[in-house]
Amino acid sequence: MELKLVKSGTEYFKILAEIIRQAEKFIHLQTYIFEEDETGLPIAGLLQEVAQRGVKVYLLLDAFGSKPSETLIKNLKDAGVHIRLFSPIRFLKFQIGRRLHQKIVVVDERYALLGGINIANKYAGYTSTAWLDYAVLIENESLIKECLNVCLELWSKKYSRKVKHQALSETTNQIVQHDFVRRKREIGKSYQRAIQMAQKEIIIVASYFLPNKKILSLLKKASQRNVDIKIMVSKYSDVMIFKKATEYLYKELCQNNIQVFEYLPSVVHAKVMIVDAKWCTIGSFNLNAISEYGSIELNINIAEPVFAQKAHQEITHIIENECTPITENDIQQKVNWWAKFNYILVRFLIRFFFWLLKKPKSYKKQHE
C-alpha cells in the first residue's frame, strides 16, 4: 500500500524512527514544534546517528514553535546535521513573520510522512493520552518527489516565481500547499471545492475551529441539499480562548442541521475532512485565519476510496465511542455572552496581529 493512515501516539513515532534509521542518502524534516523532551531527544539522537554515518540531514524548525537549546543545536551540528530556524523572531522591529506550520519528513525519495503531528510528548502520549492527530505515510514515487520539492524550496529559499494554480481533482492524489504570502491557496480552495462536490456526507475533524464566512456558507448550503455533516472538535483545549470562540458557533451550526461532537479523551489536534467516504484531506491546515493568512501549511488530498473508507471508519468509530454530541441543552449553557466575547476577541486579535506584524517590502529577500 502506497498510502497509510498513521495515528498520533506510539504508532506515529515508531514509524518515524523506523524510516529515519533506514535513511541512506538524505533526510528532510520540517516541523513547527520540536521539543527537547522524552519524545524529541530520541529523535534528535537518531538524526545525529544517521548524519554521522554520512546521511545528509536537513532540519528546519519554526523559530516561534520550536526553541532548541544551544546545546542541542551544537550537538546536532557537531554530528553533521544541517539545522536552521525558520523566520527568526525580531520583536523590536515587529518582524515575527509567517510561521512554518507544516509537518513533513522525506527520506531518500523512499518515504514521506506528512500530517499534523509535532514532535513532543503530548503527541506521543508519553505521560497522558496522546493528542488526537493524523499523518499519512507515503511510498508513492511521484508524491514523494512533490514533497521533496516543497522541502527543497523552503530549505534553499529559492522560490519559483510561477504560481501554479492546482485544481482540485476528485480522482487524483495531490500534495497541496497554503502560503498566502506567496499566493498559494490550494488547501483552502480544496476545502471549498470538496464541500461543494459533497453529495451524501462530510466529516470534519478540526482543532482551533473558526472557519471563514465562505466555508460556513458552503457548509450551510451542503446541509440544505441534505448532505449529512459532522464536525468533531475538542472538549478540552490548550487554548481556551479559541475553544470558547468555537463554542459560539455551536448554535448557528446546529440550527443548520450540522452535527457537532466534542472529543473526550484528550485534545483534538487533527485536521481532517472526509467527503462521501471516497475523498479526504489530511495535514497541518486549520480552518481558521491563522492558517489561511499567517502560516505555511501542507496537506495531502487523497482520492482513493479504499483509503478514504478506512479513514472514515476510524473517525466514525471515534465519534460514536469517544465523543459526546452537542445538544440543545449544551447550546443554552455554552453559547452565551462569554462565548460571544471570546469569538469577537479572537477575531480582533488575529486581525490586529496581522496588522501589527506587516512586513517591509524587502521581506521575501531578507526575512526567512
The pLDDT value given to residue 257: 97
The pLDDT value given to residue 365: 46
Cα gap 147→28, rounded to integer Å: 10
Q: C-alpha dihedral over 1, 143, 24, 67, to 10 degrees?
A: -110
Alpha-helical regions (H) of the chain? 10-21, 40-52, 70-79, 121-124, 141-156, 186-197, 213-224, 240-247, 250-255, 289-293, 305-322, 328-334, 337-356, 363-366
At residue 25's C-alpha, the angle toward residues 21 and 27, to 5°, is: 65
Distances from the Cα of 13 to the Cαs of 41, 87, 137, 149, 311, in angstroms?
12, 27, 12, 24, 19
Say which CATH architecture domain 174-351 belongs to: 2-Layer Sandwich (3.30)
The pLDDT value given to residue 367: 41
Cα gap 234→244, rounded to integer Å: 11
DSSP code per residue over 52-108 = HTT-EEEEEEETTT----HHHHHHHHHHT-EEEEES---GGGT----EE--EEEEET
Cα gap 176→171, rounded to integer Å: 15
Single out the residue of 19, 17, 9, 33 nearest to residue 284, CA to CA. 33
**H or E element in which residue 281 lies:** strand 279-283
The pLDDT value given to residue 177: 95
Instruction: Specify the amino acid at residue 321.
Output: N
Instruction: Specify the amino acid at residue 253.
Output: L
SS3 316: helix
Cβ-count burial of 6 within 10 angstroms (0-12 exposed, 13-18 middle, 19+ buried)? buried
Cα gap 154→367, rounded to integer Å: 12
Say which CATH architecture domain 3-156 belongs to: 2-Layer Sandwich (3.30)
Cα gap 153→144, rounded to integer Å: 14
Q: What is the DSSP letter of 343?
A: H
The pLDDT value given to residue 36: 97
Q: In what order do the strands lie in the sheet with 26-31?
A: 3-7, 134-138, 111-115, 103-107, 26-31, 56-62, 82-86
Cα gap 65→42, rounded to integer Å: 19
- Residues with Cβ within 8 Å of residue 95, at least 6 apart in sequence: 357, 359, 360, 363, 367
Q: Tell me the average pLDDT of the chain.
A: 91
Q: What are 206's strand-pairing partners?
A: 271
Single out the residue of 233, 179, 164, 171 nearest to residue 197, CA to CA. 171
The pLDDT value given to residue 182: 86
Single out the residue of 108, 180, 91, 119 nearest to residue 144, CA to CA. 108
Q: How many CB atoms lie within 10 A of CB 97?
A: 21
As given in the structure block, the three cell numbers for residue 180 are: 498566502
Instruction: Specify the amino acid at residue 196.
Output: Q
pTM above 0.95, yes or no: no
Residues of the chain falling short of pLDDT 50:
92-95, 359-368
SS3 139: coil
**CATH 3.30.870.10 region(s) of the chain?**
3-156, 174-351
At residue 363's C-alpha, the angle toward residues 298 and 63, to 5°, is: 55
